[in-house]
Amino acid sequence: EAGVAQSPRYKIIEKRQSVAFWCNPISGHATLYWYQQILGQGPKLLIQFQNNGVVDDSQLPKDRFSAERLKGVDSTLKIQPAKLEDSAVYLCASSPPWQGYSGANVLTFGAGSRLTVL
């Protein structure tokens, strides 16, 4: 099965500029996540979608970050304006509809988009 696709893989921008990341989850996966991983840290959840509805965006800095998942498939994460502290890898992940404790609801991650803000 095809994995989670993300683009671009790398992006360098200056502070106050804007950037957008794209994610295409595994086909049939209802849940999509965006995680931010700063160097030396574990991934931190930014936003979680169930189909095209938001389940959790409590840690999304809404003054500068936005995300959408149109038609319950692809998703875009946008940062505007970017700050130096936004330099990180942005990981997209997806999981199938929850099927209990079978382990089938394990998240599958994409390769990530590495953002450097100068």
Partner 1 sequence: EDKVVQSPLSLVVHEGDTVTLNCSYEVTNFRSLLWYKQEKKAPTFLFMLTSSGIEKKSGRLSSILDKKELSSILNITATQTGDSAIYLCAVEKIPGYSTLTFGKGTMLLVSP
Q: Which residues of this chain interact with partner 1, rule CB under 8 A?
A: 3-4, 31, 33, 35, 40-45, 48, 50, 55-56, 91, 95, 98, 100-101, 103, 105-112
Handedness of CA 83, 93, 23, 110 (dihedral sign): positive
Q: Considering beta carbons, is residue 70 or 106 the nearer one to partner 1?
A: 106
Residue whose CB is less far from partner 1, 28 or 100? 100
d(C-alpha 72, C-alpha 110), whole Å: 17
Pick the closer one to partner 1 by CB: 82 or 91: 91
Shortest distance, position 79 Cβ to partner 1, whole Å: 21
Instruction: Quote the least distance from Cβ 11 to partner 1, whole Å.
Output: 16
| Alpha carbons within 13 A on the beta-carbon side of 13 | 23
In the complex, the smallest distance separating the C-beta of residue 105 from partner 1, rounded to whole angstroms, is: 5
Q: Which of 66, 72, 62, 88 is nearest to 24 (CA)?
A: 72
The distance of closest approach from Cβ of residue 104 to partner 1 in the complex, given in angstroms and rounded to an integer, is: 10
For 84, left (φ over 0), alpha (ψ -120 to 50), or beta?
Answer: alpha
